[in-house]
Structure 1
Amino acid sequence: MARLRRIILPLLVFALVVAGLVMSIRPRPAPVDLADVVSGPLQVTVNEDGRTRVKERYVVFSPLAGRLARIPYKAGEPVQAGRTLLAAIDPSDPDLLDARAVAEAEARVRAAALAVERARTQVIAANAALEFATDELRRVQSSASQAAANLREVQDAQLVVTVRTEEARAAEFARQIAVFELAQAEAALVRTRPADGGADAEAARLTILSPIDGRVLRVLRESAGFVSPGTPLVEIGDSTDLEIEVDVLSPDAVRIAPGAAVHIEDWGGTGVLRGRVRLVEPSAFTKISALGVEEQRVNVIIDFADAPASREGLGDGYRVQTRIVVADAADVMKVPTGALFRQGDKWAAFVEADGRASMRLLEIGRRNHAEAEVLSGLSVGDRVVVYPSDRVREGVMLAPRKAAE
């Protein structure tokens, strides 16, 4: 028995050593996160910070030469159309003015009259566009069923109506300003001409009332003193009528079209606001990035599509985060971007097949920061390795940790 133990014990030790050596040199499965290749919606956006600004800012100018009384207002104070006295000017003696001053005043009246006619035409055009958009919304609503595909069409039509409403409101604002400027120019002309018969006429004080409801944005000339025609006095605007200015990289600007939907986030309130791109400016400008790199940037102007009540508290010059939609697909095969890597000049991904890694070359379409459209190389239901480590190679055994979302 003792002899048998002496034979078996070394054999057992030898077997354990051999097993340990085999286990030590055997490849261990690589721990990985897996995600499913799925079919679903894909939205591609350009994400940039933006800044709000009052859409229609109006600077009140002195219409004639004279002595300006001190302006008592501060930035932020409310003004009412036709009631708030913005400035008062005692005109210079008309008998001391030359013929050129009278001619300039007459020219300002003619220019103001033309501006009124132009503004009226713009109001008519804006109202016609609003009426057309409203009729289109009614048509879409009447033909839409309960299908989700038609719901998006209704929402798009509603956004167009909202934007056209804002445009009509802006056109009416411009018309009111034009009428105001015409009245000021006519009043200045009366005070510029000498009195009939050469009699001395008391210079009537010219009072300038606010043409709009809004707030004082800036006081450009606060102190009393002599002013000449065209001197800027006060800047006013409707602080609830805002737009957003976003500067994007010029390659991104090429993909952005007027009318594109915009998601407005991180604005300080709850929820996500909606917007629409109104204008992509045609000229770029050079901007130095935080890393000191010169970039060509383009300004994109965005209109809010929600009512002002939904963005209460948002003011002029506030920072917001915008996501401008440049592509929106309802049903595509997609994969997490973390599963993609470059293999030469092509995209590739590791697929889990029978517990081992298998590299596939892919053709990728549209993509955003989280997902990419797969045109070929994968099938719905395949499981791909997300953020593969350097241990993941062709044929390596995989040990899934968890399903990546």
Structure 2
Amino acid sequence: MKHSGKKYVGWIVAATAVGLLVYVILRPQPVMVEVAPVIRGPFVQTIDEDGKTRVRERYTVSAPLEGTIERIRLKAGAPVEQGMLLAIIHPRVPGLLDVRVEQELRARLSAAEATHAGSRAAVERAQAALTQAKADYERTKKLAEQELVPPARREHDELAVTLAMKDLQAAQFANRAATHQVEMARAALLRVQKPLPTNHGDDQHWEIHAPVLGRVLRVFQESEGVVTLGTPLLEIADPADLEVVVDVLTTDAVHIAPGSTVWFERWGGTPAVKGRVRLVEPSAFTKISALGIEEQRVNVVIDVTDDEEQWRGVGDGYRVDARIVTFQAEDAVQVPVGALFRDGDGWAVFVMADGYARKRGLQVDRRGSATALVTQGLAVDEQVIVYPSDAVQDGVRVLARVVG
């Protein structure tokens, strides 16, 4: 009997060992997952789009008369001084100038005078805006010295002065160009009404001078040839006075306000350059996406607010990546967007707890490019599963590999 009892115990031990071995072999293996912690810190929501630089003001030099133009020797990029000789036109024979040409010149003069009046008003508005911006800054500066307003308010008003000065410079550029346009149109009309005699020799030519200081952006009419009234010849601008135009979806544009902070990246240098939204254009347009889908988009015009030296080397028509800030919080609970998935009408994540995946519903307030702002459902330092596969379900064993 004694030996039978020992034998019975031995069989039990052996059976238990075999059972454990079978369990270990047949039990489901843990799913390999990547996890990341829930964090607390500054949160920024941005709209990321491609943008393109452009000069704020450009002036197109056009032919004031019909005739033959001599070869233009200036090349794109050439510096131009105000009053510099740009081109020479030999007008048509006076006898061939008809009433139609005179009517066109009169209409051109009227349009130039209207543009000039508008440019003068724009200069006055820009001067008034600059005066107001300076007054606001002086008040804020005194209050900041007494610590009655935050430093950010002082920086904001100081930036407003800088941008107002740029607006005034652009308005003055446009006014000088408009003044020159009026002078050219008036002189051309007078030339038609009182032409020089045909035996006047070389005095028959017409000189076109630069209306503004800047550089040649492009030459439209490089070779000698016949030109008609209004034919574009050159384009002049200040290539250092740049703005950035970004087209965004109209559904995103409603969240962008003038004054919003913008960061420009991948512009060809480092670090990122700061800007500020000046205008969200009121009219949208249709654009075909790379996938062939029609999209409604609208242009956002942005001023560069960082030092021009940091932006040096960037010219007209250059591509940049723009990150337009639409919301920011200094202290927010955040989770990687790759951990989120839809659960009915809400959001959920898989939290790793004691080696198992546990589904957890949560309240997401905003989503950024990398993280989402969570207002309810998660605690700081909890580990969430990033990009969970179909094999990850509530209660499944998981083995973590930490990322981020």
> What range is the shorter-chain TM-score in?
0.7 to 0.9
- Corresponding position of 1:142: 142
> For each residue in 1:288-341, what CA deviation from the matched residue of structure 2 results, as whole angstroms up to 9, or x when unmatched?
322333333322222222233221111122211111112222333322212211
Q: What CA distance in whole angstroms lies between the structure 1 residues aligned with 2:355 and 2:298? A: 49
Superposition pairs for residues 186-205 of structure 1, below 5 Å?
A: 186-194=186-194, 203-205=203-205
- In 2, are the aligned partners of 1:60 and 1:233 still within 8 Å (CA)? yes
Q: What CA distance in whole angstroms lies between the structure 2 residues aligned with 1:20 and 1:143? A: 78
- Corresponding position of 1:347: 347
Q: Tell which deviates more after alignment, 221-230 or 103-112.
A: 103-112
- 1:6 deviation in Å? 8.0
Change (3 A) 1:338 1:100: closer
Q: Which amino acid letter does the alignment assign opposite residue 303 of structure 2?
A: D
- In 2, are the aligned partners of 1:74 and 1:219 still within 8 Å (CA)? yes
- 1:126 deviation in Å? 1.0
- In 2, are the aligned partners of 1:94 and 1:193 still within 8 Å (CA)? no
- Corresponding position of 1:276: 276
Q: What CA distance in whole angstroms lies between the structure 2 residues aligned with 1:387 and 1:103? A: 71
- Corresponding position of 2:374: 374
- Corresponding position of 2:358: 358
Q: Tell which deviates more after alignment, 252-261 or 90-99.
A: 90-99
- Corresponding position of 2:24: 23
- 1:227 deviation in Å? 2.6
Within the alignment, does 1:58 sit opposite 2:59 as a pair?
A: yes
Q: What CA distance in whole angstroms lies between the structure 2 residues aligned with 1:162 and 1:105? A: 40
- Corresponding position of 2:325: 325
Q: What CA distance in whole angstroms lies between the structure 1 residues aligned with 2:198 and 2:233? A: 32
- Corresponding position of 2:338: 338
> For each residue in 1:353-376, what CA deviation from the matched residue of structure 2 results, as whole angstroms up to 9, or x when unmatched?
555443221221111121111132
Count of paired positions: 401
Q: Which amino acid letter does the alignment assign opposite residue 58 of structure 2?
A: R
- In 2, are the aligned partners of 1:340 and 1:347 still within 8 Å (CA)? yes
Q: Which amino acid letter does the alignment assign opposite residue 78 of structure 1?
A: P
How well do the aligned residues superpose, as a CA RMSD in angstroms? Answer: 3.2
Q: Which residues of structure 2 form unaligned runs of 5+?
A: none
Q: What CA distance in whole angstroms lies between the structure 1 residues aligned with 2:29 and 2:225? A: 87
Within the alignment, does 1:45 sit opposite 2:36 as a pair?
A: no
- Corresponding position of 1:298: 298
- 1:33 deviation in Å? 4.2
- 1:192 deviation in Å? 1.4
Q: Give TM-score, length-normalised by structure 1.
A: 0.86
Change (3 A) 1:140 1:26: farther
SS of match in other structure, 2:133 = helix
Q: Which amino acid letter does the alignment assign opposite residue 120 of structure 1?
A: R
Q: What CA distance in whole angstroms lies between the structure 2 residues aligned with 1:94 and 1:160? A: 54
Q: What CA distance in whole angstroms lies between the structure 2 residues aligned with 1:105 and 1:68? A: 18
Change (3 A) 1:362 1:76: same
- Corresponding position of 1:159: 159
Q: Tell which deviates more after alignment, 343-352 or 365-374.
A: 343-352
Q: Which amino acid letter does the alignment assign opposite residue 282 of structure 1?
A: P
> For each residue in 1:48-95, what CA deviation from the matched residue of structure 2 results, as whole angstroms up to 9, or x when unmatched?
112222222221111123332221222222222212x11112233445
Q: What CA distance in whole angstroms lies between the structure 1 residues aligned with 2:263 and 2:146? A: 25
- In 2, are the aligned partners of 1:334 and 1:373 still within 8 Å (CA)? yes
- 1:130 deviation in Å? 2.1
Q: What CA distance in whole angstroms lies between the structure 2 residues aligned with 1:381 and 1:390? A: 25
SS of match in other structure, 1:120 = helix
- In 2, are the aligned partners of 1:261 and 1:276 still within 8 Å (CA)? yes
SS of match in other structure, 2:175 = helix
SS of match in other structure, 1:223 = coil
- In 1, are the aligned partners of 2:94 and 2:198 still within 8 Å (CA)? no
Change (3 A) 1:106 1:389: closer
- Corresponding position of 1:69: 70
SS of match in other structure, 2:191 = helix
- Corresponding position of 1:224: 224
> For each residue in 1:234-280, what CA deviation from the matched residue of structure 2 results, as whole angstroms up to 9, or x when unmatched?
12222212222222223222222232211100001121111122232
Change (3 A) 1:88 1:335: same
Change (3 A) 1:107 1:11: closer
Q: Which amino acid letter does the alignment assign opposite residue 265 of structure 1?
A: E
- Corresponding position of 1:388: 388
Q: What CA distance in whole angstroms lies between the structure 2 residues aligned with 1:219 and 1:54? A: 16
> For each residue in 1:91-113, what CA deviation from the matched residue of structure 2 results, as whole angstroms up to 9, or x when unmatched?
33445534454454344334433
Identity of aligned residues (%): 46
Change (3 A) 1:338 1:204: same
Q: Which amino acid letter does the alignment assign opposite residue 64 of structure 1?
A: L
Q: What CA distance in whole angstroms lies between the structure 2 residues aligned with 1:291 and 1:115? A: 42
- Corresponding position of 1:97: 97
- Corresponding position of 1:209: 209
SS of match in other structure, 2:49 = strand
Q: What CA distance in whole angstroms lies between the structure 2 residues aligned with 1:340 and 1:199? A: 83
Q: Tell which deviates more after alignment, 2-11 or 13-22.
A: 2-11
- In 2, are the aligned partners of 1:119 and 1:171 still within 8 Å (CA)? yes
- In 1, are the aligned partners of 2:137 and 2:154 still within 8 Å (CA)? yes
Q: What CA distance in whole angstroms lies between the structure 2 residues aligned with 1:199 and 1:74? A: 33
Q: Tell which deviates more after alignment, 246-255 or 171-180.
A: 246-255
- In 2, are the aligned partners of 1:65 and 1:227 still within 8 Å (CA)? yes
Q: What CA distance in whole angstroms lies between the structure 1 residues aligned with 2:228 and 2:389? A: 73
Within the alignment, does 1:181 sit opposite 2:195 as a pair?
A: no
- Corresponding position of 2:244: 244
Q: Which amino acid letter does the alignment assign opposite residue 322 of structure 1?
A: A
Q: What CA distance in whole angstroms lies between the structure 2 residues aligned with 1:326 and 1:240? A: 28
Q: What CA distance in whole angstroms lies between the structure 2 residues aligned with 1:254 and 1:42? A: 20
Q: What CA distance in whole angstroms lies between the structure 1 residues aligned with 2:144 and 2:282? A: 37
Change (3 A) 1:123 1:354: same
